[in-house]
Structure 1
Amino acid sequence: MLQEFREFIARGNVVDMAVGIIIGAAFTAIVTSMVNDLINPVIGLLTGGIDFTNKYVVLSGEVAAGTGLEAARESGAAIFAYGSFLMAVLNFLIVAWVVFMLVKAVNRARALAEKEEKVEEAPAGPSQEELLAQIRDLLAARSA
Structure 2
Amino acid sequence: MKGFRDFLLKGNLVSMAVGLVMALAFETLVLALVQAFITPAIGLAAGGHGNVAASGFQVRGVLFPVGLFITALISFVIIAAIVY
TM over 0.5: yes
Residues 16-64 of structure 1: per-residue CA shift (max 9 Å, x gap): 22111111112112211221122012112113226424x2211xxxxxx
- Do 1:35 and 1:98's aligned partners in 2 also have CA atoms closer than 8 Å? no
Query: Is 2:65 the partner of 1:93?
Result: no
What is the TM-score of this pair, normalised by structure 2? 0.71
- Do 1:31 and 1:99's aligned partners in 2 also have CA atoms closer than 8 Å? yes
Q: 1:38 matched to which residue of 2?
A: 37
Using CA pairs below 8 Å that are at least 6 residues apart, which structure has the higher relative contact order?
2
Percent of aligned positions that are identical? 30
SS of equivalent residue, structure 1 residue 56: strand
Please report the RMSD computed on the Cα atoms of aligned residues, expressed in angstroms.
Answer: 2.2
What is the TM-score of this pair, normalised by structure 1? 0.46
Residues 79-111 of structure 1: per-residue CA shift (max 9 Å, x gap): 3x3x32x2233123211222244346xxxxxxx
Q: Which has the larger radius of gyration?
A: 1
- Do 1:31 and 1:95's aligned partners in 2 also have CA atoms closer than 8 Å? yes
Name stretches of at least 5 consecutive residues in structure 2 with no aligned partner. Answer: none
Q: How many positions carry a matched residue from both structures?
A: 80
